[in-house]
Chain A
């Protein structure tokens, strides 16, 4: 029933997120027939001053690269990180702010169980959000005369959800540090989203920075195979998530209401 409560509490956030992810996926599929002729024309120009990113020829020639570039490596990933933070905030301090903590703590439930149930639902919801494009993109692609393998979308979604779990861990921890109904959300967004975006931008220009750029790891190779999965990074990120959840559990036990 704790899972049920965590689900009821967050379901509107999840539904809005699912709609946003679906809309974004469809948008970039539908933009393909509009953007590609423009890029193709740009590539054909002999103007030495024209900006031609290195990925552009591949983006023009391979639809799978185009989808990876705009969704799993860029806009969808940005949106997913935002949603992961939004779905992970909450917990006993937020309940304290809105006055329901006394009722929750009158139930025979340990504080760890409260935390685990909330985090588990956040993991499930973010994983589902990451997998939505795996189903939406292949279906929408038919409407623009393209095809996209469902397995690729599924693998990219899983990689994004597993590596991105660190955002859930950090958000869960900060939700038990910062008091107020919406303060933890605003501060978490500022603390996580700003470095995430800055690092992402920096890593585009400095090659070694990609190793610590979580966005780059979440995106993976554009054609993801078992060989390309960054296992070591995944293990490290998972350990980091566990560390933050451990800190959250410790902080949760120490809180007084």
Chain B
């Protein structure tokens, strides 16, 4: 099986508000797929539907070939897929040792080697009550409890939130090593720099709808900002071309965000007597902001 996660028109409605709308997601086996979107875009709702914590209002989804909306199959998904929630609170009445023992009991493929390695690297005190851990330490523990499950699919909601830069870097390295061992990682993050560092595929949602689905390399190669100076009057409709995502006109300066087909856009600018045309690459952050703006 090449696709680990697949949804078909997945939707979730809360009364009149549609949090997720007709989402078609595909995550390929072995990839590190970033799930981007603003706060309230529907990322967490989507992740919770994937893990059976919420039922879809419409549509369907499969993880590892198992239906997300069937309770028995959802349990089998959770045997094979690890999930770290946005809210990483754990049972504060347990010690680190107790919660490790507790979690381990549900996963026959528990990676004791990884547990020992992460305990050492993340500097987690075994005898300490969870209520006494700092937020960062709790996040580290939640990640350890997911990473050591021996899962083939990892769903991580804001995995580095609350971590210091050193711990963040360590977690990102672990995520990369998981993928190198053949696991698939699907993670949401607001840290664009982290996404650029480790992701190989980007899924972006805005107001519950998928607005970008592309490999990161292609996004970096093809997304460009084209800026042309044209003295004759121009309108947005003059640049309604395939690949033009957004057009800004400020006097004689026309700025365009182009997802592909840059050459055709430049040709159009020259045909309109542009005195200069400049093409500049865009960062993922700029692409994110422009994609969100374009979807409004």
Residues of A within 8 A of B (CB): 1, 4-5, 8-9, 98-103, 105-111, 253, 256-257
Binds A, one of B79-87, B235-243, B279-287: B79-87
A-B contact count (CB 8 A): 69
Q: Verify A105–B87 contact, CB threshold 8 A.
A: no
For residue B105, CB closer than 8 A to chain A, the reply is yes
Q: Verify A256–B53 contact, CB threshold 8 A.
A: yes
List B60-111 residues whose CB lies under 8 Å from chain A. Answer: 71-72, 75-76, 78-79, 82-94, 98, 101-103, 105-107
Q: State the Cβ distance, A253 to closest chain B Cβ, in Å.
A: 7
CA distance A209 to B269 in the complex (A): 93
Q: Verify A103–B71 contact, CB threshold 8 A.
A: no
CA distance A45 to B104 in the complex (A): 71
Q: State the Cβ distance, A121 to closest chain B Cβ, in Å.
A: 14
Across the A-B interface, the 3 shortest Cβ-Cβ residue pairs: A102-B85, A99-B89, A106-B83
Q: Verify B103–A107 contact, CB threshold 8 A.
A: yes
Q: In the complex, which of the residues B92, B93, B101 has the most CB atoms of chain A within 10 Å of its own CB atom?
A: B93
Q: Verify A256–B55 contact, CB threshold 8 A.
A: yes
What 0/1 pattern do residues 232 to 256 of B give for CB contact below 8 A with A?
Answer: 0000000000000000000000000
For residue B193, CB closer than 8 A to chain A, the reply is no
Q: Within 8 Å CB of B55, what residues of A?
A: 256
Q: Within 8 Å CB of A107, what residues of B?
A: 78, 103, 106
| A106-B83, A109-B106, A256-B55 known, 16 other contacts, Cβ within 8 Å | A1-B102, A1-B105, A1-B106, A5-B91, A8-B98, A99-B87, A99-B89, A100-B91, A102-B86, A103-B89, A103-B142, A103-B145, A108-B75, A109-B75, A110-B71, A257-B48
Q: Within 8 Å CB of A99, what residues of B?
A: 87, 89
Q: Verify B75–A98 contact, CB threshold 8 A.
A: no
Q: Within 8 Å CB of B54, what residues of A?
A: 256-257
Q: State the Cβ distance, A13 to closest chain B Cβ, in Å.
A: 11
CA distance A207 to B86 in the complex (A): 58
Q: State the Cβ distance, A4 to closest chain B Cβ, in Å.
A: 7
Q: In the complex, which of the residues B76, B89, B145 has the most CB atoms of chain A within 10 Å of its own CB atom?
A: B89
Residues of B within 8 A of A (CB): 48, 51-55, 71-72, 75-76, 78-79, 82-94, 98, 101-103, 105-107, 142, 145-146
Q: Verify B102–A105 contact, CB threshold 8 A.
A: no
CA distance A256 to B53 in the complex (A): 6
CA distance A1 to B94 in the complex (A): 13
Q: Verify B71–A5 contact, CB threshold 8 A.
A: no
Q: Verify A110–B51 contact, CB threshold 8 A.
A: no
Q: In the complex, which of the residues A106, A107, A108 has the most CB atoms of chain B within 10 Å of its own CB atom?
A: A106
Q: Verify A100–B75 contact, CB threshold 8 A.
A: no
CA distance A257 to B92 in the complex (A): 20
CA distance A181 to B289 in the complex (A): 39
Contacting A253 at CB < 8 Å: which of B51, B71, B107?
Answer: B71
Contact A257:B53 (CB < 8 A) given known A106-B78, A109-B75:
yes
Return the chain A residue nearest B47 by Cβ: A102
Contacting B106 at CB < 8 Å: which of A108, A110, A253, A257?
Answer: A108
Q: Verify B79–A108 contact, CB threshold 8 A.
A: yes
Q: State the Cβ distance, B200 to closest chain A Cβ, in Å.
A: 24
Return the chain B residue nearest A5 by Cβ: B102
Contacting A100 at CB < 8 Å: which of B78, B82, B90?
Answer: B90
Q: Within 8 Å CB of A100, what residues of B?
A: 89-92
Q: List 26 A-B contacts (CB under 8 A).
A: A1-B102, A1-B105, A1-B106, A8-B91, A8-B93, A8-B98, A9-B91, A98-B92, A99-B89, A100-B91, A102-B48, A102-B53, A103-B90, A103-B91, A103-B142, A105-B51, A105-B52, A106-B146, A107-B106, A108-B75, A108-B107, A109-B78, A110-B71, A256-B53, A257-B48, A257-B53
Q: Verify B98–A102 contact, CB threshold 8 A.
A: no
Q: Verify B85–A108 contact, CB threshold 8 A.
A: no
Q: Within 8 Å CB of A8, what residues of B?
A: 91, 93-94, 98
